[in-house]
Amino acid sequence: MSSAELDASAMRGAHARGERSVRLTIEDTLARIARIEPTLGALSAVLADSARTRADELDAARANGFEPGALFGVPVVLKANLCQTGVETNCGSRVLAGWRPPYTATVVERLLAAGAVPVAVAHMDEFAMGSSGENSAFGRARNPWDLARTPGGSSSGPAAAVAAGLVPLALGSDTGGSVRQPAALCGIAGFKPSYGRLSRHGLVAFGSSLDQVGPLARSVRDVELALEVLSGFDERDSTSLRAAPVARSARTSLAGLRVGVPQEYFGAGLDARVRATIETALGELEALGARRVPVSLPSTALAIPCYYVLATAEAASNLARFDGVRYGPRVDGDGSLEGMQAATRGAGFGAEVKRRILLGTFVLSHGYAEAWYGKALAVRARLRAEFEAAFAAVELIVSPTAPTLAFRLGEKSADPLSMYLSDALTVPASLAGLPALSVPAGFARDGASELAVGLQLVGPFGADAEVLAAGRLFEGATRHHQRRPALAAS
């Protein structure tokens, strides 16, 4: 059986029992990458040598009686904003071209400790700013279901790599939907944990109060496995939750589960095919015993403007460090310090990043901060309160993950506002810090293409395991996650 058909837990089992060597899996994976990646364009670097070395080490360790970890021998892909010592971590930006971190992110350390094998670094929108992957300075990933379309973003490469069957598991990051939206557009599972659930130590910051690392996999079952490995308090991140690792929920049925459907998520901007697919999915949930409850989140429309104030304010601050002084390519400019910093930043950042730095600088500037940043904080508090009120009556809130099907590459690049609206349905849970999962809800036709639609499940703060359990039961009943794009079979 080819590694492309195994999920992470099955693969780990085969390695642990000695039925298959890790080296064989890695060779298999590298061969698939060599075959598919030229068409897909998801990866910025393939770590063939280190993956082979590591595979041999793991095989030797097993032979010597070491207890195999929970991801033993599982090949993984990492978004290019997760630090690994010595591995180029460029965040899709020229300003970090060639930068090799002197340290490793906590989530990557935990993957390694569980026996996972990083095989590649994946493309992303520059500094995770974008919803299509097109804002990368190094390469634009394609959607495996239709190569002319976007895989979504900003975790474009990780989502495309998993959907194309290169690896069963990838790590992305989600600030306003950057794991969930590409997961939805690529027909896979993608999870943004409760804020603080996964350590941000070693995740290059975009909007620090929103950023969460998130696993992407072909099954929710694998997401649960990854979360168990990755979660748990990290003293190196002061916003890390003081909680034990998330154990898989024992729930085996959706019977009696109250599922809230917010009317505000089904407004005019929602594509009719997406709406129809989600309606079908809601029917399937009811068939599984869930009770559909209408709920209201009145401030939903304010979420996008609120997000683009807070996230850009934090981004402008977080990106101030890229000044050419200590690392990254330096452009001398007029030779003065200010000239060098301006020239380095001018040449290093792409248009969208510059736009957001300007926005973020403006909303915090003297005389405007209260009207913009202050007001946005108030909106955020209100969104949070509305979610809390809704969760008094329901266990989960469900909606489409993205308002449209995967759009064509280039279709929205000239229209940042319409691009921002791609995140309209994912941003509210980010602002509220809530756990949110996108799981394949079904497929819709657009011309000749079959395109994936994602169902978003949002739970109360801390209810990560419950959200994942509901997603797992839904996917187990619907089996949408077992469909593969033609590219994956090649």
Partner 1 sequence: MSSPSASAATGWNTVIGLEVHCQLATRTKLFCACAAEFGAPPNTRVCPLCLGAPGALPVLNQGAVALALRAALALGCTPDPASRFERKHYFYCDLPKGYQISQFARPLARGGGLELASGKFVRLQRIHMEEDAGKAIHDRGAHTLVDLNRAGVPLIEIVSEADLSGAEEAHEYLTRLKETLQFAGVSECDMERGSLRCDVNVSLHRPGTPWGTRAELKNLNSFKNVVAAIEHERARQRVELEAGRRVRQETRLWDPERAETRTLRSKENEQDYRYFPDPDLPPLVLDAATIARVRAELPELPAARRARWQRDFGLTPYDAGVLSASRALADFFEESARLSQRPKEAANWLANDVAAALAAARLDTPADLHLTPARLAQLIALVADGTLHIGGARSVLKALFTRAATPAELVAELGLAQVRDTAAIDDWCRVAIAANARAAADARAGELKALGALIGPVMKASGGRANPAAVREALLRLLREERA
What positions carry a catalytic annotation?
79, 154, 178
- Minimum distance, C-beta of residue 338 to partner 1, in the bound complex (Å): 7
Return the residue of 103, 233, 266, 443 that touches partner 1, per CB under 8 A: 103
- If one asks whether residue 31 binds partner 1 (CB under 8 A), the answer comes out as no
Told to check if 307 binds partner 1 by CB under 8 A, we report no
Sequence-distant (6+) residues with CB within 8 A of 329 are: 94, 95, 97, 98, 344, 347, 348
253 binds partner 1 (CB under 8 A): no
* Site mask for partner 1 (CB under 8 A), range 82-101, x = bound: xx-----x-x----x--x-x
Strands laid side by side in the 212-217 sheet: 43-46, 117-122, 75-79, 169-174, 212-217, 189-192, 436-446, 449-458, 396-400, 258-262, 291-295
For partner 1, which is the closer residue by CB, 77 or 83? Answer: 83
239 forms part of the interface with partner 1 (CB under 8 A):
yes
Q: Cα(126)–Cα(74) distance, rounded to whole angstroms?
A: 27
Provide, rounded to whole angstroms, the least separation between the CB of residue 102 and partner 1.
6
Binding partner 1 by CB under 8 A: which of 64, 65, 67, 102? 102
- The three-state (H, E, C) secondary structure of the chain, written as one string: CCHHHCCHHHHHHHHHCCCCCHHHHHHHHHHHHHHHHHHHCCEEEECHHHHHHHHHHHHHHHHCCCCCCCCCCCEEEEECCECECCECCCCCCHHHCCCCCCCCCHHHHHHHHCCCEEEEEECCCHHHCCCCCCCCCCCCCCECCECCECCCCCCHHHHHHHHCCCCCEEEEEECCCCCHHHHHHHCCEEEECCCCCCCCCCECCCCCCCCEEEEEECCHHHHHHHHHHHCCCCCCCCCCCCCCCCCCCCCCCCCCCEEEEEHHHHCCCCCHHHHHHHHHHHHHHHHCCCEEEEECCHHHHHHHHHHHHHHHHHHHHHHHHCCCCCCCCCCCCCCCHHHHHHHHHHHHCCHHHHHHHHHHHHHCCCCCHHHHHHHHHHHHHHHHHHHHHHCCCCCEEEEECCCCCCCECCCCCCCHHHHHHHHCCCHHHHHHCCCEEEEEEEEEEECCEEEEEEEEEECCCCCHHHHHHHHHHHHHHHCHHHCCCHHHHC
* 341 lies in the binding site for partner 1 (CB under 8 A): yes
Of 237, 271, 279, 411, the one binding partner 1 (CB under 8 A) is: 237
Q: From the CB of 303, what's the least distance to partner 1, in Å?
A: 18
Q: Of 72-80, 141-149, 202-210, 448-456, which segment contacts partner 1 by CB under 8 A?
A: 202-210
Of residues 311-340, those binding partner 1 (CB under 8 A) = 313-314, 316-317, 319-323, 325-327, 337-338
# chain residues binding partner 1, by CB under 8 A? 46
| Min separation Cβ 347 and partner 1, Å | 16
The least distance separating partner 1 from the CB of residue 364, rounded to whole angstroms, comes to: 4
In the list 43, 77, 105, 137, the residue contacting partner 1 (rule: CB under 8 A) is: 105
Q: Does 200 interact with partner 1 (rule: CB under 8 A)? A: yes
Type of residue found at 80: A
Separation CA 449–CA 142 (nearest Å) = 14
- Write the binding mask 62 to 81 for partner 1: x where contact by CB under 8 A, - elsewhere: -------------------x
Query: Closest CB to partner 1 among 29 and 318?
Result: 318
Do 247 and 232 contact (CB within 8 A), yes or no? no
Nearer to partner 1, 209 or 449 (CB): 209
Beta carbon nearer to partner 1, 209 or 413: 209
Residues 352-371 vs partner 1: string with x where CB under 8 A?
---------x--xxx--x--
Q: Return the number of the residue (317 or 418) whose C-beta is nearest partner 1.
A: 317
Of 50, 53, 208, 249, the one binding partner 1 by CB under 8 A? 208
The 372-391 contact track toward partner 1, x by CB under 8 A, reads: -x------------------
- Scanning 6-14, 204-212, 246-254, 449-457 for contacts with partner 1 by CB under 8 A, the matching segment is 204-212
Binding of partner 1 at residue 238 (CB under 8 A)?
Answer: yes
> 94 or 412: whose CB is closer to partner 1?
94
Q: Which of 57, 235, 332, 388 binds partner 1 (CB under 8 A)?
A: 235
Positions in the binding site for partner 1 (CB under 8 A): 81-83, 89, 91, 96, 99, 101-103, 105, 200-205, 207-209, 235-239, 313-314, 316-317, 319-323, 325-327, 337-338, 341, 361, 364-366, 369, 373
